[in-house]
Amino acid sequence: MKFTPKIFNSHPKTDGVFFGGIKRILGFKPKDLSIYKKAFLHRSLNKRDGLGNPMNYERLEFLGDALLGTVISKHLYQEVPGGDEGYLTKMRSKIVSRKHLNELGKDLNLLKLVESRIPKSHFGENIYGNVFEALIGAIYLDKGYDQCERFIYERVIDPYVDIEQLEGKVISYKSLVIEWCQKQKKEFHYEVYEDTGNDELKHFAVKLTIDNRIMAKARATSKKKAEEKASKRAYYALQDKIESN
């Protein structure tokens, strides 16, 4: 008589923690766990598949970004029938902004599942949004478009998308300040100046000058962030003038 052992758990013990964690995030059982594992592999591991192709979250991130944009676009198209192309594009940008996606990734505690050779404390903020998009790509490959769309509605649209609120949300203070300066024919310059800070992580110091007058200064971990921070300060200093035009 041939004995067939009973399989109590189809997932190896080494997959148990990951399987439990990803199931809690998804709200359903994953079918192909290997796809989700790839969504949490950082390129620093330098892993490759049997054909020598790189294995990390970046390709899934590309796919997830496209899917997220498609579902959000469909939602806005249906919810705002009077919105023209420019309006719809602007609203979609607000919903899928890097800052918003980073917040979503943090809320889901995605960094906990990321495998990397780099200490997690060294990652920038964008890791959260990147992995969130990769997760969406993995859901699509594992469960198809309908399940992917449901996940985006449950995790993004239903809890966070409020059309009226988004209409008043600023995407980029830098864009607003530059647009105002150009309309008013004012000269403006963003200049990186010497930073004597003793932070362990490198910071950039930026000053924004408008018509030879320093309007704001700011420091951040990247030049782009410092410029946006300085722009925000300048915007509020000039708010009455900017909003009256």
Tokens 């013990």 correspond to 13
Contact 190, 225 (CB under 8 A): no
All structural domains of the chain, each given as residue ranges with its CATH number in brackets, are 13-167 (1.10.1520.10), 173-243 (3.30.160.20)
**What does the alpha-carbon distance between residue 75 and residue 84 come to, in Å, rounded to a whole number?**
14
pLDDT score for 199: 60
Residue 7 CB-density burial (10 A; 0-12 exposed, 13-18 middle, 19+ buried):
exposed
Of 29, 64, 222, 53, the closest CA to residue 152 belongs to 64
**What does the alpha-carbon distance between residue 58 and residue 42 come to, in Å, rounded to a whole number?**
8
Tokens at 177, concatenated: 């300040």
**What does the alpha-carbon distance between residue 234 and residue 137 come to, in Å, rounded to a whole number?**
39
Which residues are the active-site residues? 65, 133
pLDDT tens digits for range 99-130: 889 999 999 999 999 999 988 888 888 999 99
Of 130, 153, 108, the closest CA to residue 58 belongs to 130
pLDDT score for 153: 94
pLDDT tens digits for range 67-82: 999 999 999 999 988 8
Q: What's the predicted TM-score (pTM) here?
A: 0.67
**What does the alpha-carbon distance between residue 215 and residue 17 come to, in Å, rounded to a whole number?**
51
Could you tell me the mean pLDDT of each successive run of 10 residues in the chain, 245 residues long?
Answer: 41 70 92 94 90 92 96 94 87 88 92 90 90 97 97 91 79 86 93 69 87 92 88 88 74
